[in-house]
Amino acid sequence: MHKNFFWGAATSSYQVEGNNDNDWTEWELRTAKRRAQTAHFNPPDGEWPDFLLNPPAGGPNPLQRENYISGRACNHYNLFREDFDIAKSLGHNAHRFSIEWSRIEPEEGRFDEKEIGHYREVIRALRERDLEPFLTLWHFTLPRWLSAQGGITSPRWAEYFERYAERVGTEFKDDVRFWMTVNEPDAYCLNGYLRGVWPPAQRSLIRAYRATKHFVEGHKRAYDALKKINPSFEVGIVVDLVYFEASRGFLNKVLAWPAANINEYFLRRVRKSLDFLGFNYYFHSRVHYGFNKNDNKMVSDTGWEVYPEGLYKMLARLRSYHLPIYITENGLADARDIHRAQFIKEHIAWMKKAMDEGVDVRGYFYWSLLDNVELDRGFWPRFGLVEVNYKTMERKIRPSALEYKKIIDEAL
Ligand code: BGC
């Protein structure tokens, strides 16, 4: 393993900061009650287990309205220094985080110096701890003025995004080397424009297609703007790719092929405007006559199958892009911390196998440093290396975080 390899964890502004005022804020209030009433455990008719109804670390459970309102979240906006101390103590040498656009540009065209100053402090705090900052410009949230204009589907979205990227790039040009334009545009189009479970909560194929096109354009414009500020910036994108595997039989092979290709649709369209590829790995899907037939030998609290080998398979496939790869997210919800250590070890082992075979992987970021607001599911899924008590805001390092540390210590 190369000594310059980056090891760390990832977060996003909305999910950890607290007191955000963006397009999710209003959506949360409008939908919280309904989401509490319709929350179901996976499988859908299963009973909620006691460890999720009465979480050991306290905090709301999935049947309570407050679970769905981000409020103070982890108060990371104020506690970022303490949180980075923890990351440092866990052996990390890098940290992925996002800038909250709604703070930086709360009104159209008005950039907030105080909030820019806040992120300057965040970046400084990372540098002081020798944590290489990996900055994401957009991780699912929009300023309200922009969502009022149609959000990503606004004809001016790419223009606005370029302006925002240019401003942030100029402000932090001496402090940040690694930039990610947008996080999982694919997942956002699916959940925000097709399934309607994230803001803007729409179900429209036309809008989903339009959003995809705009994301492509927005990424390219932001890429060019950032490279103009400093050609030695490393600029990438983050995509969420599923490992689609055909179940036995010829027909399944035929059916899995389009799934695997649609999966990389976005990536193929931006590949010429990339210095690296950010890859979030969570899912495997065994395609069986159009259905998902996973073995589910091990599942997380959210019912997601744990399938580490899929990371290797996807890395082998991504090699054809001839770009450095960073695993920008990989993690699971595991409130009892019973699977996490094994999850991390096995995924890293498969990643190493891919690297031994020549795939150019340069970093691994566990999702997430802290328990946080898991988007539409709210607080109950516990993804953190560090447990958060949402009442006291106390942090507690989970045993699996120390196992991850051992792997890092051995590698560095
Ligand atoms: C997202 C994160 C999210 C994680 C777990 C990714 O899709 O980038 O924001 O919390 O997966 O669902």
Ligand 1 atom closest to Cα of residue 302:
12
Classify burial at 119, counting beta carbons within 10 Å of its beta carbon; exposed 0-12, middle 13-18, buried 19 or more.
buried
The mean of the pLDDT values for the chain is 96
375 lines ligand 1 (CB under 6 A): yes
Q: What is the band of 137 on the pLDDT scale with cuts at 50, 70, 90? A: very high
Mutation probe of ligand 1 site: the residue of 20, 183, 195, 329 with most atoms within 8 A of C-beta: 329
DSSP string, 323-374: S-EEEEE-----TT-SSHHHHHHHHHHHHHHHHHTT--EEEEEEE-SB----
4, 129 Cβ separation under 8 angstroms: no
Sign of CA dihedral 71, 378, 372, 56: positive
Q: Tell whether the model's pLDDT for residue 199 goes beyond 80.
A: yes
Task: Name the nearest CA neighbour of 324 among 134, 155, 190, 163.
Answer: 134
| CB distance 378 to 34 below 8 Å | no
**Cis? peptide before 43, omega within 30° of 0:** yes
Question: What average pLDDT score do residues 29-35 get?
Answer: 97
pLDDT band with cut points at 50, 70 and 90 for residue 88: very high
Residue 1 pLDDT exceeds 70: no
* Nearest atom (ligand 1) to Cα of 331: 5
Instruction: Assess whether pLDDT exceeds 80 at residue 43.
Output: no
Confidence band, pLDDT 50/70/90 cuts, at residue 57: confident
What count of Cα atoms within 13 Å lies in the side-chain half-sphere of residue 379?
27
301 lines ligand 1 (CB under 6 A): no
Mean of pLDDT values over 179-198: 98
For residue 44, pLDDT beyond 90: no
**pLDDT digit string, tens, across residues 225-246:** 999 999 999 999 999 999 999 9
Is the peptide bond prior to 273 cis by the omega test (within 30 degrees of 0)? no
pLDDT average, residue stretch 367-373: 98
Q: Which residues neighbour 304 within 8 Å (Cβ) at sequence distance 6 or greater? A: 282, 283, 332, 333
User: pLDDT tens across 290-329, in order?
Assistant: 889 999 999 999 999 999 999 999 999 999 999 999 999 9
For the CA of 184, the nearest atom of ligand 1: 8
**Confidence category of residue 77, pLDDT binned at 50, 70, 90:** very high
Q: Is 186 close to ligand 1, i.e. is its CB under 6 Å away?
A: no
Q: Kindly tell me if the per-residue pLDDT of 63 is higher than 80.
A: yes
Please report the atom of ligand 1 found closest to the CA of residue 377: 12
User: Could you identify the residue written with the tokens 């402000």?
Assistant: 171
Report if pTM > 0.75. yes
Residue 250 CA, ligand 1 centroid: distance in Å: 33
Question: What pLDDT shows up at residue 134?
Answer: 99
What would the pLDDT profile of 317-365 be if each residue is shown by its tens digit? Answer: 999 999 999 999 999 999 999 999 999 999 999 999 999 999 999 999 9
Can you tell me the distance from the alpha carbon of 32 to that of 30, in angstroms, rounded to the nearest whole number? 6
